[in-house]
Amino acid sequence: MPVNKFGHTDSSSVQRVVAGGVTLTQINSAFVRLDGTSVLTGNLNMGGNSIEGLSNPTEDSHITTKKYVDESLKKCLIGYIPNLGANNSRKTGFIASASSTTRFAGYEAYRAFNNIEADKYWTSDSRNLTDWLQIRCPEPVIIWRLALKLGTDIVDEWSLTASNDGETFTTLSGPNVRYRGRASPDFFNISTTTAYQYYRVTLTKQELNRHGIEVMQLYVYDI
């Protein structure tokens, strides 16, 4: 059987399958050779046991590094906000607030992030055209999905905005028109690469209405 310059089976004449459908030709073509016949596209750092200067992998067949995988954004499928027991949850670092809250106990802002007791959810104090519910996270996070369930039957318009100072807000979704409450939460995908600490849902109706939200949940990217 012919051999190559390394004393190994010559893959140019023998297509020997090594494992998983990979042939010696494919393996040998990926070797870095001393004679320069196989070009290194990055800088070989022997002291650091790494290859530096490589472009980010974009194709399914591209080889990647542990650092690239570790730092890639991964979608977390578990809700980020824990069950809150008060508007200011000192143990978790989350703070819930709203434009207004009904004077009756059991309808505070944090109820939308709790949903343990039936028929208890955030409700605005009076009939308004616009109301909002907000969560302040312990630290800025990047979200990819919002879960929302209204406590009222329908709103004419709603939006999701975000901020890092609680004053200047960026719109992440909306204005979205005509949203009707359902028996279970709806999920809305959000496209952003910016981490924010404040997230606010604003509800609007063209006629005076008392607004409410049973469930508001964020889904974040986990690094």
CA atoms within 13 A on the CB side of 219: 17
Say how far apart CA 22 and CA 5 lie, in whole Å: 20
191 Cβ neighbours under 8 A, 6+ residues apart: 144, 172
- Ordered by where they begin, the domains of the chain are 17-72 (no CATH), 88-222 (2.60.120.260)
* pLDDT tens profile 57-67: 666 556 666 55
Indicate whether 14 pLDDT > 80: no
* pLDDT tens profile 61-84: 566 665 555 557 889 889 999 999
Kindly state the average pLDDT of the residues 175-193: 87
Confidence of residue 141 (pLDDT cuts 50, 70, 90): very high
Say how far apart CA 199 and CA 54 lie, in whole Å: 36
pLDDT at 88: 94
Q: For residues 209 and 106, is the Cβ–Cβ distance under 8 A?
A: no
